Amino acid sequence: GDTVPFYGAHQAGIVTAMQDNLYFASLEITTTDKRELIKLFKDWTVAASNLMKGKPVGDLSSNGFLPPKDTGEAEGLSPANLTITFGVGPSLFVKNGQDRFGLRSKQPKELKDLPKFSFDALDETWCGGDICIQACADDPQVAFHAVRNLVRIARGKLIIHWAQTGFQRTKNAGNVKETPRNLFGFKDGTVNPDSKEDLKQVWVQPGDGPNWLVGGSYMAVRRIQMYIEVWDRTTLKDQEETFGRKRMSGAPLGKEQEFDEPDLEEKDENGKFVIPETAHMRLARGDGTQQLLRRSYSYAGGMDSKTGSIDAGLLFIAFQRTPSKQFIPMQQRLAGLDKLNEYIIHRGSALFACLPGVKKGGYIGETLF
């Protein structure tokens, strides 16, 4: 079918198979009233469960003297596998030293702004947020409609801080069984945890602390601009050495098939590693003990006025149990040595704690409040 269930132990949109489109919004809460915040999450729960079923957020039989409850652009469309995933940022707890909603004691130690990494060129307009909504669907209008209506419900309580659309090749273009390619033309998402055991690295486990987040997941978001024009002038050999993989097949260098195990010890006749020491996949992997669930989307906008090139890149999204043991050390290794740094630049950054799933009758975020 094309419906993903809303209720469950975990929120949808994390281990759900990736849909074709993304609309991501980072929100700033403007209300100071905790009761209003709780009411908002309750309203969102009803709205999100309806939206994911392909239903409007409110009765369409309208009173001609009022604006319609639902904005209407998804009328008659299928749910298109819509998932809506809510997360909370560090600033929901404490902002400028202020305990905004009496939640300070509940702020997880792991939920703080990501540290600065070398080569970061962050622009505040793409950073942080009190709450995030990730909407993914196999239709861009369905994804947009979801965020638009959730934000509309919240009018007067929050504003959008930043938002980003994302795409990958759609199912209409075929090749659904193949790993999608990023804007550098390489298969992206080959190595991703999928077994039940591996997924323990995605969900916050009992004992990790705090209890309200058990079954949730930390979401690291990085808006990474990719210098596609520079890349396009780079030789194929350089491109492949940058990732440590073959462009066409996605195979690790020295191997034939995409899913072959890379041999990180293999050297060529000159005594150099076949998969270079600066290769992205080698550095990202490290000793192999840290994993992430990557669920990123490409983006492309207009021109970047700073560089005169197309503003295109990757909205990198990764889910994990413990950022200080997963995303952070990984990005520290990449920021130091990764050859990919010649072609990319990190412009935006945020960390959110995606709330645990909701049981029927409950509401999103109820364990927190």
Q: Which of residues 43-82 bind ligand HEM (CB under 6 A)?
A: none
Q: 149 or 349, CB closer to ligand HEM? A: 349
Closest CB 84 distance from ligand HEM, rounded Å: 24
Q: At what angle do helices 140-153 and 34-52 cross, to 10 degrees?
A: 150
Q: 45 or 182, CB closer to ligand HEM? A: 182
Residue closest to 204 by CA, chosen among 16, 5, 12, 353:
353
Residue 88: burial class (beta carbons within 10 Å; 0-12, 13-18, 19+): buried
Residue closest to 263 by CA, chosen among 281, 239, 249:
281
- What residue has token string 């947020």? 129
Residue selected from 222, 246, 321, 339 as contacting ligand HEM according to rule CB under 6 A: 222
Closest CB 69 distance from ligand HEM, rounded Å: 40
- What residue has token string 């004691």? 105
- What residue has token string 């994990």? 320
Pairing of strands 309-320, 94-95: unpaired
Residue selected from 281, 351, 353, 358 as contacting ligand HEM according to rule CB under 6 A: 281
Residue selected from 69, 145, 157, 285 as contacting ligand HEM according to rule CB under 6 A: 285
Q: 16 or 341, CB closer to ligand HEM? A: 341
Closest CB 119 distance from ligand HEM, rounded Å: 11
CB 136 within 8 A of CB 22: yes
Told to check if 191 binds ligand HEM by CB under 6 A, we report yes
Distance from C-alpha of 18 to C-alpha of 135, rounded to nearest angstrom: 11
Distance from C-alpha of 292 to C-alpha of 330, rounded to nearest angstrom: 9
CB 169 within 8 A of CB 180: yes
Pairing of strands 217-226, 293-294: unpaired
Told to check if 334 binds ligand HEM by CB under 6 A, we report yes
Q: 145 or 295, CB closer to ligand HEM? A: 295
User: At residue 255, what are phi and psi to the nearest 5 degrees?
Assistant: -125, 175
Closest CB 237 distance from ligand HEM, rounded Å: 16
* Binding segment (CB under 6 A) for ligand HEM, from list 63-71, 99-107, 155-163, 184-192: 184-192
Told to check if 190 binds ligand HEM by CB under 6 A, we report yes
For 236, the token pair is 């194929």
Q: 49 or 234, CB closer to ligand HEM? A: 234
Q: 80 or 221, CB closer to ligand HEM? A: 221
Beta-bridge partners for 136: 22, 83
Told to check if 344 binds ligand HEM by CB under 6 A, we report yes
- CA-based Rg of the chain, rounded to a whole angstrom? 21
Q: 79 or 166, CB closer to ligand HEM? A: 166
Closest CB 131 distance from ligand HEM, rounded Å: 23
Pairing of strands 21-29, 131-137: antiparallel
Window 306-325: contact mask with ligand HEM (x via CB under 6 A): -------xx-x---------
Footprint of ligand HEM (CB under 6 A): 182, 184, 186-191, 222, 224, 226, 243, 245, 280-281, 284-285, 292, 313-314, 316, 327, 330-331, 334, 344
